[in-house]
Amino acid sequence: MAVQATTDQVRWVPIEEIVAEDAQMDDSPDGDVLLSLRSDGRYLLLSGSDKVARYRLAGLSCVDAVICPSDRVEERISKLLDKQARGRLHFLEEAEAYRSLMTGDGLTAEELSQRTGRSAGTIRRKVRLLGLSEETLEMIRENGISERTAEVLLRIPGQQGQQRVLKQVIEAGLDFKATEALVDQVLSRMPIPLSSGRRLKPMMRDYRLYLNAIRSIVEQMQDAGVEADLQVSMGRRVADVRITMPLFMERRGQA
């Protein structure tokens, strides 16, 4: 059934901002390009894939499309349930669908729970997985990492730390239990934050644990975009630890 578009729904959309998903690409009879605005500002292709392909082949940068952010919600949920029932839905794809419905269409986790049968807590837990970096998420997909293992990675602060642990998991072929033990080991080497005015009597006597804690801090600075560098020079009785970082961040586009 064709969508009755109003004037403010039709717009020219950059083709490079359109994301296609197989489950959504059922062309409408009149050939309209139907899009839904995603939470990241890009557009999800609901139908009209043939027209988008023709425009792309013709070298055009934009396509006229109908934006329908809410009138296809029930249909999208229905397709989501169908893929779940058929066992054809990756847990990250499910998380992305929930995030889109929550941020793009204004549904709450409780409302999604009533429509999908998932508990609100489960929906929120799945969406939290998308807090991992794009590189980490891609590694999870490519290597068939389980959902439980992916959840454990969220306990590691900093994207670089998460990727390092994940690489160890992949190279060693660790299961969930082994990954959980590895994460516990990594966290045990990190500094414990203290509230103001409190002091913590050092319990670690191995200097290597403190060096690892310093490395973790530098990595968190790097994750935040600070060009920090750590150099460690080991002597017979002392370790020379130097951290360098810029005092001022240069603004892009300025000489």
Centre a 10 Å sphere on the Cβ of residue 33 and count the other Cβ atoms it contains.
25
How does pLDDT run across 213-249, given as a tens digit for each residue? Answer: 788 788 788 877 888 888 888 777 778 888 988 887 6
> Do the Cβ atoms of 241 and 235 come closer than 8 Å?
no
238 and 159 fall within a common domain: yes
Burial of 14 (0-12, 13-18, 19+ CB in 10 A): exposed
Is the whole-model pTM more than 0.85?
no
CA gap 33, 31 in Å, rounded: 6
Residue at 254 is within a domain: no
For the CA atoms of the chain, what is the radius of gyration? 24
Domain count along the chain? 3
What mean pLDDT do residues 76-80 have?
A: 83
Regarding beta strands 34-37 and 43-47, do their DSSP bridges make them parallel or antiparallel, or are they unpaired?
A: antiparallel
User: Distance between CA atoms of 66 and 50, rounded to whole angstroms?
Assistant: 15
Task: Please give, one letter per residue, the 3-state secondary structure of 5-28.
Answer: CCHHHEEEEEHHHEEECHHHCCCC
Q: Residue 30 is encoded by which pair of tokens?
A: 């009149």
- More confident of the two residues 40 and 22: 40
| pLDDT tens digit sequence for 163-208 | 999 999 999 999 999 999 999 888 887 765 555 555 544 444 556 6
Residue 18: give the domain boundaries.
7-67
54 and 91 in a common domain: no
Residue 142, domain member (yes or no):
no
- The answer to whether residue 28 sits within a structural domain is yes
